[in-house]
Amino acid sequence: MRRLVSRLAVGTLALALTACTATADVSREPAAAAAPASGPVTAALEDRTVAPVAEAAVPSLPVTVVSRERAGDREVTVDDASRIVAVDMSGAIAATVVGLGLGDHLVGRDTASEIPGLEDVAVVTAPGHTLTPEAVLALEPTVVVTDGSIGPSDAVAQVRDAGIPVVYVENEAGFDGAGTLARQVADALGVPEAGAALAGRIAAEVSQASAEVAALAVDDAPLRMAFLYLRGSAGVYYMFGDESGADELIDALGGVDAAADAGITGMQPLTDEAMLAADPDVILVMTNGLASVGGIDGLLEERPAIALTSAGRNRRIVDMDDHDILAFGPRSAAIVTALATAVHGA
């Protein structure tokens, strides 16, 4: 549950701060470079494609499932999955729908769902990741799947009041959460077998990617890593620690979660004391977040405590697209691999 709270909190921050994100130039080296002892690196997915576990999944409907809403669980019956709208902050739900073999059924998506093949699927979220109910209703969907990270709540209620089944699923940050998401989305769309297969594939791929990271980890001791959430124009700096999802990612990268090691749980405002106590060798950030503080130089100037850490002194900061780095979902293993390449070198 704490992971879900962290994800919702990130969503709230992003909704409030999107307009504040700067477009400063960020000087970075390509991820394919040799393993850096210093200097910033950008991690990027080589392939954004999501392969379906079934080429043509056939929903078995109707189904009645539990919609896991913040106000309390409710039962929702879905009798048609021919026109699906899938929305969340990271695009993980739409990616899951594609992974289940129902990508052709998607008629609406969020701005984060940048997946090959979905270019012509309508975007129903406005800038700032807010749902536009009129855009949803115009698509005449037969079901909407979301996780509560996209709002406002009255916009979702408007869609439900129009008679559209709305199913809330759990989307907790983490690899186990990706498997749970696959099963819950599949259950809501009447393809439970595909959900079990997708969850199993995610787990197997992450396990393999994590094992392969060991071959890339050339350091004598595990690297201490910390994930920072940055929105510079609004002066928002958070450190993610234990039970935030970032901890699982760092573990898969063969690192030590420096924030958790310093006693940080969930996401907490970044303090100089916490930064110095964590003293990471590597700092992970979102690309737009890094740009919003003026790149590496702006970050070190704005927060001198970061400059005193090992990562700061060596400018060892790894950024990744905001929609990818904590997205998990069907591309979890690809995210681990891309980050591992950036952190440890090709």
* One-letter amino acid for residue 259 of the chain: A
> At CB < 8 A and 24+ separation, what contacts does 211-215 make?
212/337, 212/340, 213/252, 213/253, 213/254, 213/336, 213/340, 213/344, 214/254
Contact 180, 198 (CB under 8 A): no
Token digits for 216? 């890339």
Place of tokens 């940055």: 230
> What's the pTM value of the predicted model, to 2 decimals?
0.87
Whether 239 contacts 275, CB under 8 Å = yes
- The Cα–Cα gap between 131 and 119 comes to 18
How far apart are the C-alpha atoms of 51 and 331, rounded to whole Å? 9
Mean pLDDT of 159-184: 96
Diameter of the chain by CA atoms? 60
Length reported for the chain = 346
Average pLDDT value for residue range 152-159: 94
Question: Quick one: pLDDT at residue 37?
Answer: 53
Higher-confidence residue: 343 or 31?
A: 343
- Whose structure tokens read 């990270």? 149
Nearest to 268 by CA among 13, 70, 21: 13
Look at residue 24 and tell me whether its pLDDT is greater than 60.
no
For residue 44, count other CB atoms closer than 10 A to its CB. 18
Q: How far apart are the C-alpha atoms of 96 and 113, rounded to whole Å?
A: 10
Q: What domains can be seen in the chain, in order of their start residue?
A: 13-47+219-344 (3.40.50.1980), 63-190 (3.40.50.1980)
- Separation between Cα atoms, residue 249 and residue 223, nearest integer Å: 13
- CA–CA separation, 53 and 147 (whole Å): 22
Which residue's entry shows tokens 């037969």?
Answer: 142
DSSP H or E stretch at residue 297: helix 295-302
In whole angstroms, give the CA distance from residue 167 to residue 308: 47
The token pair at 246 is 């970032």
Q: Which two tokens stand for residue 141?
A: 């969907």
Which residues lie below 8 Å from residue 55, measured CB to CB, with a gap of 6+?
A: 101
| Contact of 270 with 232, CB cutoff 8 Å | no
Q: What is the per-residue pLDDT across 315-346, written as a single tens digit (0 to 9) for each? A: 999 999 998 999 899 999 999 999 999 998 76
> Tens of pLDDT along 53-89?
988 789 999 999 999 998 889 999 999 999 999 999 9
- CA–CA dist 344, 6 (Å, integer): 28
State residue 3's pLDDT score.
Answer: 44
Taking all residues of the chain, what is their mean pLDDT, rounded to a whole number?
88
- The angle at the Cα of 225, spanning 224 to 231, to the nearest 5 degrees, equals 150
pLDDT in tens, 278-322: 999 999 999 999 999 999 999 999 999 999 999 999 999 999 999
Q: State which H helix or E strand residue 267 sits in.
A: strand 267-269
Query: Could you tell me which residues come within 8 angstroms of residue 120 by beta carbon, excluding any fewer than 6 positions away?
Result: none
Q: Which letter does DSSP use for residue 23 in this model?
A: -
What percent of the chain is modeled with pLDDT above 70? 87
Query: Would you state the structure tokens that stand for residue 29, as one six-digit string?
Result: 């080296």
- Give dist(CA 244, CA 249) in Å, integer: 10
- The SS3 assignment for 295 reads helix
Question: Which pLDDT band, with edges at 50, 70 and 90, does 183 fall under?
Answer: very high
Alpha carbon distances (Å) from 305 to 34, 259, 288: 28, 14, 21
Distances (CA, A) of 78 to 86, 186, 192, 283, 297: 14, 12, 14, 43, 52
Please, which pLDDT band fits residue 28 given cuts at 50, 70 and 90? very low
3-class SS of residue 201: helix
The answer to whether residue 1 scores a pLDDT higher than 50 is no
